[in-house]
Amino acid sequence: MDHLSVSPARLPQPRIARRTAVKAVPLNLVFFGPPGAGKGTQADLFAARHHIPKISTGDILRKAIQDGTRIGAMVRETLQSGALVGDDLVISIVAERLEQPDTAKGFVLDGFPRTIPQAAALDAILADRGGVSVIALVVHADEVIRRLGRRGREDDEAYVIKERLEVYSRETEPVLQYYRRRGVVTVLDGNRPLDEVTEAIEAALKRAKG
């Protein structure tokens, strides 16, 4: 008898396939840390490796400025000063982006949420999508300043860096507490070389998945 005449549906399903199917929860991640922690770089690498999109509010806002859009004109001075763009605007940008079908299997958020209202809005958006896991990169203040000084982006001048670090501890660090209370945070040492941090992120997620 031709073996092709056996209906595949009648064959016992391999165990491994069933297990994978059960575990297919979306990889909804927030990369968290002060400016210069390396979260943007790690988010890029992670997203490429896992075939999910990276969503960086900083990148989206800088592109809007570059493209000369209405939103770009609205936020240009804010970015130059190191202050935060208004919650309503960034929340609507992220909400719209997360409606795109490429986010269904997961995504990496970089630079969002940065305030408690942003975190609450993200919760509402993801209410029926499995919530988020947070990878927080901790870096010494002097290392942050050294890295940002090397990077040379337009908002990396010394006095703007100072403002961004102040905004981070005032507005953004409380977001970490918000997630910590929920037990969804993995804190990693971001002072180490890039590929060691990459390995640590992968190891942490494997542990989290069990």
Q: Is the peptide bond before 113 cis (omega within 30 degrees of 0)?
A: yes
- Sole binder of ligand ADP in the list 31, 32, 112, 178 (CB under 6 A): 112
Q: Which is nearer to ligand ADP, 42 or 133 (CB)?
A: 42
Cα separation of 198 and 176, whole Å? 20
Number of residues counted as binding ligand ADP (CB under 6 A): 16
Cα separation of 149 and 136, whole Å? 22
Return the closest-CA partner of residue 129 out of 93, 101, 87, 90: 101
- Sole binder of ligand ADP in the list 35, 38, 106, 190 (CB under 6 A): 35
Neighbours of 143 (CB within 10 A): 15
Cα separation of 120 and 113, whole Å? 9
Active site residues: 39, 114, 150, 153, 164
Of residues 45-74, which lie at the interface with ligand ADP (CB under 6 A)?
57-58, 61
Asked if residue 161 binds ligand ADP (CB under 6 A), the reply is no
Minimum separation from the CB atom of position 189 to ligand ADP (A): 18
Minimum separation from the CB atom of position 147 to ligand ADP (A): 9
Minimum separation from the CB atom of position 113 to ligand ADP (A): 6
Minimum separation from the CB atom of position 102 to ligand ADP (A): 20
Return the closest-CA partner of residue 29 out of 139, 188, 195: 188
Termini Cα distance of the chain: 44
Among 2-10, 84-92, 123-131, 178-186, the segment contacting ligand ADP (CB under 6 A): 84-92
CA distances to 39, 44, 110 from 194, in Å: 10, 12, 17
Minimum separation from the CB atom of position 155 to ligand ADP (A): 6
Neighbours of 74 (CB within 10 A): 15
Q: Which is nearer to ligand ADP, 13 or 173 (CB)?
A: 173
Sequence-ordered list of residues with C-beta below 8 angstroms from that of 50, at least 6 positions apart, any chain: 27, 106
Binding track, positions 164-193, relative to ligand ADP; x by CB under 6 A: x-----------------------------
Residues in contact with ligand ADP by CB under 6 A are: 35, 57-58, 61, 78-79, 82-85, 90, 111-112, 114, 118, 164
